[in-house]
Amino acid sequence: MADHIISLQGVTKEFDTKGGKVVALHDINLDIKRGDSYGIIGLSGAGKSTLVRTINLLEQPTEGKVLFDGKALTGLASKDLNLQRRKISMIFQQFNLLMQRDAIGNICFPLEIAGVPKAEAEAKAEELLKVVDLEDRAHSYPSQLSGGQKQRVAIARALASDPEVILCDEATSALDPKTTRSILALLKKINEERGITLVVITHEMEVIKQLCNKVAVIEGGEIVERGSVQEIFANPKTKAARRLFFPDGQNKEKQITKTSTKRRVRLAYDEKTAHEPIIANMIMELGAPVNFLYANLDVLGGEQIGQMVICLADDKETAEKQKEYLANAGVKFTEIPEDYDFSEEHGEEAGE
């Protein structure tokens, strides 16, 4: 059994259009461990959906290999590929339910295709309706269900084939915030209790925060940064990652930019340091004030994480002492260049 349940090796995907070739993915190398809840995040047009469709070969890569549990999917005959695909389920933004079938009928559908006897399929579907807390809606049709209930049926259908991986393509984008939280909690429970690997495609930072332990940032068809959610939150190295992990809310960024551009640093607190009065102690010990621009507390992977943007002292020597104090206190920080414009980072995609 391979340690990495999914591996993409040098995957490139090109499309021929009237305007010429379009490179949707370029030299993607990605390893996803068994049991991960792996987020792939990027803005619209970054290549996320093409990437997830390449994992189960709904899109054949132009170059490169896709491996599942150590075995290459690329190059398999259709029959063998379809057998492997049964181990990789998928849920979608628009649910993709069959409107002429009730909830239990939708869940039975992949079992029917696999040749499972009707009675056995229905018994399994009833069990899965309990898993997604919809046992009382077994005979409701999609038109009679809310968005969250439709997605729960879709999740139950995805579980019907006993998959090892579930691909989630913007699975909560059509849902309101409260329903989104409940669906993410259900997916997290499935990941933790059943050991099913999740690959989560999203443009929403909140989805990554609530559900994922690993994340890859995709931009322009390339993976530009990857690692644990906590690592990248604490120290995003690329502009694309900063756009996603730096303070959210366009108005806040404009205010941060307007207030000051000198000696700004972004602090990231972990569970150990989030409740310590580190900044207050630093001010008292060094006798130099700081300017607070932004602060919040959040939860990533069940751990409380904080972030703060401050301006250090104007005096370079004092600012260096402040940075040294923060480092010794165990606070991770990123220096923000003077020409870095928060509003520019977020302005284009604020409405996406």
Digit-coded pLDDT (tens) for 258-273: 455 577 888 877 766 6
Q: What proportion of the chain, given as a percentage, has pLDDT over 90?
A: 47
| pLDDT classification of 225: cutoffs 50, 70, 90 | very high
DSSP H helices in the chain: 48-55, 78-85, 103-113, 118-131, 147-159, 177-194, 205-211, 229-234, 239-245, 250-259, 278-286, 316-328, 342-347
Who's near 234: CB < 8 A, 6+ residues apart?
268, 270, 332
Q: What is the DSSP string of 311-333?
A: E--SSHHHHHHHHHHHHHTT-EE
Architecture of the domain made up of 246-346 = 2-Layer Sandwich (3.30)
The answer, yes or no, to whether residue 53 has pLDDT greater than 80, is: yes
Identify which of 325, 244, 258, 339 has the alpha carbon closest to the alpha carbon of residue 294.
258
Residue 137 confidence (pLDDT) = 93
Which pLDDT belongs to residue 347?
41
Of 254 and 30, more confident: 30
Quick one: pLDDT band at residue 248, thresholds 50, 70, 90?
A: low
* pLDDT value of position 342: 52
Please state the rounded mean pLDDT for residues 282-303. 78
Provide the residue ranges of all domains of the chain, joining segments of one domain with +: 4-239, 246-346
Both tokens of 129, joined, read 């309706």
**What single-letter amino acid sits at 187?**
L
Q: The whole model's pTM is what?
A: 0.79
Report pLDDT for 250.
42
Residue 265, C-beta contacts closer than 8 angstroms, at least 6 positions apart: 309, 310, 312, 323, 326, 333, 334, 335, 336
Neighbouring residues of 27: CB distance < 8 A, sequence distance ≥ 6? 10, 11, 12, 64, 222
In degrees rounded to 5, what are phi and psi of residue 145? -110, 150
Nearest to 32 by CA among 201, 219, 152, 206: 201
Residue 270's CB: how many other CB atoms inside 10 A?
Answer: 17
CB 74 within 8 A of CB 61: yes
3-state secondary structure of 3: coil
Banded pLDDT at 339 (limits 50, 70, 90) = low
Return the amino acid letter for 113. Answer: I
pLDDT: is 313 or 351 the higher one? 313
pLDDT of residue 183: 93
Q: Do 25 and 11 form a contact (C-beta atoms < 8 A)?
A: yes
Topology of 4-239 in CATH?
Rossmann fold (3.40.50)
More confident position, 340 or 68: 68
Distance CA(267)–CA(292), nearest Å, equals 11
Name the burial class of residue 241, with classes exposed (0-12), middle (13-18) and buried (19+) by CB atoms within 10 angstroms of its CB.
Answer: buried
The tens digit of pLDDT for each residue in 61-101 reads: 999 999 999 999 988 888 888 888 889 999 988 888 999 99
Contact 338, 317 (CB under 8 A): no
Sign of CA dihedral 193, 29, 94, 42: positive
